[in-house]
Amino acid sequence: MSYLEVDRVNSFYGDSHILFDVTMRVEKSEVVALFGRNGAGKSTTLKTLMGLVPAQSGSIRLEGIDLQGARPHAVARHGIQLVPEERRIFGNLTVEENLILAGLTAKPAWPLARIYEMFPRLRQRRGSRGTDLSGGEQQMLAIARALIRGPKVLLLDEPFEGLAPIIVRDLLAVCERLAEAGQTIVIVEQNVAAALSIAKRAYILNNGHLVFDGSAEDLKATPAILHRHLGV
C-alpha cells in the first residue's frame, strides 16, 4: 500500500468531465511531479486531492484512510496541505499573523523559529502586511503557512510561476531541503527542469488522462515524450 493512493478518480466542473480515471501513487518522503499543458487537469487533480473539487468516483487514500468525499477542512486535518497557485494569503495581516493563524489548529505546529530558519526573508518581513510583500515573498509565505501545519503531504501548485529566476532558485533550494528532510511533496509546475531536479517520479496529464507514469530519470531521458506532451 502506498502512502497516498489515487485510484481511478473522475472529477467534473458542472457537466464538464475534467479527470478521467486518474490513478496515482505517492510514497512516503517522495517528491512526485505532475506535468501537463494548460488545461490538462493538473490543478484540478490537486484540488480533488484537497477536497475542493469532489471526486465523482474512485478513491483517494492517505495511509489507508479513505478521503474521497471529505471536505477540505477534514482533508487538512488528516495531513494534506495545498499551496494554491493564487497563494491566498491574508493581505491585511502581517507575515507573523498569517503564520500564527495557520498554526492555531495544527497538532503539532512547527515553531515560528523553524519557519524563519527555512525562510530568513520572512523573519525580516515578519511585521509587514501581506499586501506589502513582493510576489516572491508572498509565495514564501504561502508555502510557510502550509508547512507550519506539519503536513504529511504538501501539494504545490505552480510555486515558481511568474517569479524572478533568483527567487525561483531560493524556493527550489527550500524544496530541496524539504525533500532531503523527508517531506512528501506533489508538485505541479511548468518549469519542467526545476521540478525534475527534485522529483523522484513524474506523471503527465493530457486532457484529463494520464499519459506518462514513470521515474523522473526516465522522463528526462526521453525528450520525445516531453516534446509531444509539454512542448519542451
pLDDT digit string, tens, across residues 80-139: 999 999 888 999 999 999 999 999 988 888 999 999 999 999 999 999 999 999 999 999
Where b means 16+ CB within 10 Å and e means fewer, 67-106 reads: bbebeeeebbeebbbbbbbebebeeeebbbebbeebbeeb
Query: In the predicted model, what is the mean pLDDT of residues 203-218?
Result: 96
Please report the pLDDT score of residue 232 as a whole number. 62
Mean pLDDT taken over the chain? 94
Cis check: omega of the bond before 108, within 30 degrees of 0: yes
pLDDT at 171 over 80: yes
Please report the pLDDT score of residue 107 as a whole number. 81
Query: In the predicted model, what is the mean pLDDT of residues 202-225?
Result: 95
- Confidence band (pLDDT; 50, 70, 90) for 14? confident
- Cell numbers 496541505 correspond to 81
Q: Distance between CA atoms of 206 and 229, rounded to whole angstroms? A: 7
Domain with CATH 3.40.50.300 in the chain: 4-79+152-230
pLDDT at 50 over 70: yes
Residue 2 burial class via C-beta count within 10 angstroms: exposed 0-12, middle 13-18, buried 19 and up? middle
- Confidence band (pLDDT; 50, 70, 90) for 35? very high
**81 in helix, strand or coil?**
strand
Per CATH, which fold does 4-79+152-230 belong to? Answer: Rossmann fold (3.40.50)
The Cβ of residue 200 has, within 10 Å, a number of other Cβ atoms equal to 17
What distance lies between CA 41 and its chain's CA centroid?
14
Q: Cβ distance 149 to 106 under 8 Å?
A: yes
Q: Which of 100, 90, 174 is nearest to 138 (CA)?
A: 90
Q: Distance between CA atoms of 38 and 217, rounded to whole angstroms? A: 23
Partners of 22 in the beta sheet? 9
pLDDT digit string, tens, across residues 62-74: 999 999 889 999 9
Please report the pLDDT score of residue 189 as a whole number. 94
